[in-house]
């Protein structure tokens, strides 16, 4: 089956090039044209013989293709807005079908039109899709002096965006609403965030066309959300308040982030995640990696979930409630296996955890362990000796000792924290097993 994915541009009547017009003209009565009612209306001037259908939910769409093919359809046209491969349905189609079956017809997108209406260079803005995504995912982008172009849905309308800006401390941000672009009723309006969200009340009297693109120019105010690694401890919700609970402290976190060296596409497990300091930072700075935080203590789990929401890491941070190593058995089969693991807490099961994780890690994978007590350090050192004997790892270790300045009776002093020892193991191929597959 041939699938044509046609971008419609930004206009009441689609402006299709010759190849897209030819694709529509080639359709038979058994073929299918998919799109929303509005999209079908935009191609009314281009005649075709195919059956028009509303675009179903993606979960149903794959099986619908099989049904249509069984009924004799040889071609399907999927109508898309603008550029189908930029936050559009094209990405799903590429994951589901072979490129050999697909043909794309790009057009001008609403993002491009909004930028041109406002004189913005596309390379100078940050495009964020909130369409079908949690509104909280915007938070990781709300730093000072940024220009954001937002693709929206019913849950991310201008008032919702204004509320997020105000709660981030950016109430002077400029919110530009580009409504019904390309239509006769096109309208562009500019608001201050504090106007649309005042005193915990969303301004409901102002109505907006649901077909909109929102541009946010964040203010110079200091944002709640960090723009550099090392989130202050006090920014986290913890079980003892003021960043003093079960959380890996900022300076130690910086070392962990550096040594773990997360790359795009990594899957990382944080075992004994506590209130989520490490997990949240990993997820916040690496949106294209998957972080799985494992914790069993009820109060810490509640703090972990609160921090996940606070920092907007709701798409790439998953929370697993359970006690390791028991809960890991199901995780190996239910989730993509990790290639990097951090053990921040073991609840007396460190030896079993390290052994189980190491046996499952792929070559090139890494394990990082944090140790504070002498007993824990001894267990990790014995594990390190086992790795040396097996010759299956490269190892790095460091001890982080922090003393923070305070004032006491008008005098400065430095109060030391307990030193934390970090061990990092990267798995290499055991030379004993090299060549056994040949």
Q: What are the tens digits of pLDDT across the range 89-140?
A: 999 999 999 999 999 999 999 999 999 999 999 999 999 999 999 999 999 9
Query: pLDDT tier at 329 (50, 70, 90 boundaries)?
Result: confident
Handedness of CA 93, 97, 98, 101 (dihedral sign): negative
Is 334 a residue whose pLDDT tops 80?
Answer: no
Give the pLDDT score at 244.
Answer: 77
Q: What are the distances in angstroms from CA 79 to CA 32, 36, 66, 102, 165? A: 11, 8, 19, 13, 34
Same domain for 369 and 293: yes
Q: Is residue 74 part of a domain?
A: yes
The total domain count for the chain is 3
Single residue among 187, 217, 247 that ends a domain in this structure: 217
Last residue of one domain, picked from the residues 108, 128, 143: 108
Residue 132 shares a structural domain with residue 200: yes
pLDDT interval class at 374 (50, 70, 90): very high
> What confidence score (pLDDT) does residue 435 get?
47
Same domain, 16 and 104: yes
Task: State the pLDDT confidence band at 203, using cuts at 50, 70 and 90.
Answer: low
157 and 40 fall within a common domain:
no
Q: Which range among 3-17, 283-297, 335-349 shows the weakest confidence by mean pLDDT?
A: 335-349
Any idea of the CA torsion for 226, 231, 234, 240, to the nearest 10 degrees?
130
Judged by average pLDDT, the poorest of 20-24, 197-201, 410-414, 422-426 is: 197-201
Residue closest to 152 by CA, chosen among 144, 162, 143, 140: 162
Q: Which pLDDT does position 438 carry in this prediction? A: 39
Cβ(255)–Cβ(230) below 8 Å: no
Last residue within a domain, chosen from 185, 217, 249: 217
pLDDT tier at 242, thresholds 50, 70, 90: low
Quote the domain boundaries for residue 131: 112-217
159/295 same-domain check: no
Burial profile 247-282: b = 16 or more Cβ within 10 angstroms, e = fewer: bbbbebbbbbbebbebeeebbbbbbbbbbbbbbbbb
Looking at the fold, whether 325 and 359 belong to one and the same domain comes out as yes
Give the residue, 139 or 331, on which the prediction is more confident.
139
86 and 181 both lie in a single domain: no
Do 133 and 197 fall into the same domain?
A: yes
Q: Looking at the structure, tell me whether residues 17 and 161 fall in a common domain.
A: no
CATH of the domain at 322: 3.40.50.150
């Amino acid at each position: 089956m041939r699938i044509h994915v046609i971008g419609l541009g930004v206009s009441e009547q689609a402006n299709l090039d010759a190849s897209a017009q030819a694709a529509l003209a080639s359709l038979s009565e058994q073929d299918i044209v998919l799109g929303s009612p509005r999209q079908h209306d935009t191609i009314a001037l281009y005649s075709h013989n195919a059956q028009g259908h509303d675009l179903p939910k993606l979960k149903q769409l794959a099986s619908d293709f099989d049904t249509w093919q069984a009924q004799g359809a040889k071609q399907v046209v999927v109508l898309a807005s603008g550029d189908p491969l930029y936050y559009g349905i094209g990405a799903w189609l590429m994951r589901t079908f072979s490129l050999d079956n697909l043909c794309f017809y790009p057009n001008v997108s609403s993002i491009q039109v909004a930028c041109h209406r406002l004189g913005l260079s596309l390379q100078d803005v940050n495009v964020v899709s909130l369409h079908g995504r949690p509104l909280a995912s915007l938070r990781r982008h709300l730093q000072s002096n940024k220009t954001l172009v937002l693709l929206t849905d019913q849950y991310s309308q201008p008032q919702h965006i204004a509320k997020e800006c105000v709660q981030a401390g950016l109430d002077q941000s400029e919110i530009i609403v580009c409504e019904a672009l390309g239509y006769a009723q096109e309208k562009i309006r500019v608001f201050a965030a504090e106007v649309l969200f005042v005193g915990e009340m969303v301004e409901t009297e102002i109505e907006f066309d649901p077909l909109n693109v929102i541009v946010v120019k964040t203010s110079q105010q200091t944002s709640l959300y960090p723009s550099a690694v090392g989130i202050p401890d006090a920014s986290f919700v913890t079980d003892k308040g003021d960043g003093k609970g079960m959380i890996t402290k900022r300076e130690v976190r910086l070392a962990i982030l550096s040594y773990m060296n997360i790359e795009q596409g990594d899957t990382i497990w944080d075992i004994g995640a506590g209130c989520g300091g490490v997990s949240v930072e990993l997820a916040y700075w690496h949106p294209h990696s998957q972080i799985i935080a494992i914790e069993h203590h009820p109060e810490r789990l509640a703090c972990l979930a609160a921090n996940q929401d606070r920092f907007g890491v709701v798409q790439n941070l998953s929370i697993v409630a359970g006690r390791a190593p028991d809960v890991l058995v199901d995780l190996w089969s239910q989730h993509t296996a990790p290639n990097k693991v951090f053990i921040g807490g073991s609840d007396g099961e460190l030896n079993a955890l390290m052994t189980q994780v190491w046996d499952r890690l792929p070559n090139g994978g890494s394990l990082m362990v944090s140790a504070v007590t002498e007993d824990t350090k001894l267990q990790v050192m014995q594990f390190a000796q086992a790795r040396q004997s097996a010759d299956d790892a490269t190892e790095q270790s460091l001890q982080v000792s922090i003393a923070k300045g305070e004032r006491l009776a008008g005098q400065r002093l430095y109060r030391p924290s307990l030193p934390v020892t970090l061990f990092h193991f990267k798995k290499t191929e055991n030379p004993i097993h090299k060549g056994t597959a040949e």
